[in-house]
Amino acid sequence: MSPSTIMPFGHQVSAQLTTKALGYPLYYQKQVSSTNHLALEAVQNGAEHGTVFIADDQTEGYGRRGRTWISDAGLNLTFSIIIDKPCEDQNIGLLPLATCLGVADAIEAAVCPHALQFKWPNDILLNDQKISGILLQVMSPPTDQIILGIGVNVNQTDFPKDLESLATSILLSTGQQMDRASLMASVLLHLEKTLDLLRHSPWMIRQLYTEKLVWIGQNCTIDGMNHPVEGILTGIDDSGALTIHTTSGPQIIYAGNLSLRVADH
Ligand code: BTN
């Protein structure tokens, strides 16, 4: 009998952990409302840096802008990590980018040579479809701890009709069925490395993220502010903000929802 048939999922992950701090402690439950809910509660109760909550199923999983996070039970990774403030305040905008890099490194290590791309700020794409989403949350009033809520589509093959063209999974895109526990341990290891990089060489985060930034040089729209901004996407600045060249000159965008603008004919 293989270990995966006899060990609970949380133990399988813990048995493969090679991190210094992430994953200690690690709490696994079959079904929860949202792992971010558990993490928020834990922060209030003084949880330690590195604490992880994983669930096979979330009944109220959510993403950015209050969207529902759809994930079939037992097929994907849905988890939240509590971290202490990882860097100087002026670099905090690079945190979502560092998180994307860590998750992408783990996926690429598992299914190399499939190249991933980033849709600024928090989405990871494979073949132009979303394979992972990241939601950063802080307590209000803010504490020095941050919650990284991460969903990775791993072995799911059916998505609801409205997501079919937008979402994918590792299995759907590469044909490779993944061992979720080893991927989870690897995500934590790679994430720990990119968080170290964020602390010691933040400029590297900008450089590595930009190499995978989708739609550079293309006409894009950013929604979610007072009015949509349209222009040619030029890159990321030192703070992790998006830079875009509009008809009235260069602009820096700190938050919003990026989409590719379909050419008008
Ligand atoms: C997004 O793409 O909008 C972010 C999605 C984040 C989903 C993860 S799954 C684990 C954690 N728990 C949640 O309820 N959300 C995050």
Atom 2 of ligand 1, residue of closest alpha carbon: 133
Q: Give the whole-angstrom CA distance, residue 61 versus residue 188.
A: 20
pLDDT (0 to 100) of residue 141: 79
Q: Which atom of ligand 1 is least distant from the CA of 130?
A: 2
Ligand 1 binding pocket includes 62 (Cβ within 6 Å): yes
C-alpha separations of 205 from 102, 228, 255 in Å:
10, 27, 18
* pTM score of the predicted model: 0.95
Task: Please give the distance, rounded to the nearest whole angstrom, from the Cα atom of residue 246 to the centre of ligand 1.
Answer: 31
Q: Report residue 8 as tokens.
A: 């609970």
- Burial class of residue 20 in the structure, from the number of CB atoms within 10 Å of its CB (0-12 exposed, 13-18 middle, 19+ buried): exposed
Ligand 1 binding pocket includes 145 (Cβ within 6 Å): no
pLDDT (0 to 100) of residue 247: 95
Beta carbons of 163 and 48 less than 8 angstroms apart:
no
pLDDT (0 to 100) of residue 265: 47
Ligand 1 binding pocket includes 150 (Cβ within 6 Å): yes
Q: What is the pLDDT of residues 73-93, one digit of tens each?
A: 999 999 999 999 999 999 999
Q: What is the pLDDT of residues 92-117, one digit of tens each?
A: 999 999 999 999 999 999 997 778 99
Q: Which atom of ligand 1 is least distant from the CA of 122?
A: 2
Q: Give the whole-angstrom CA distance, residue 210 versus residue 75.
A: 30
The string over 229-256, giving b where at least 16 C-beta atoms fall within 10 Å of a residue's C-beta and e elsewhere, is bebbbeebeeebbbbbeeeeeeeebeeb
Task: Please give the distance, rounded to the nearest whole angstrom, from the Cα atom of residue 142 to the centre of ligand 1.
Answer: 20
Residue ranges of the chain with per-residue pLDDT less than 50? 1, 265
Q: Single out the residue of 108, 138, 144, 147 nearest to residue 124, CA to CA.
A: 108
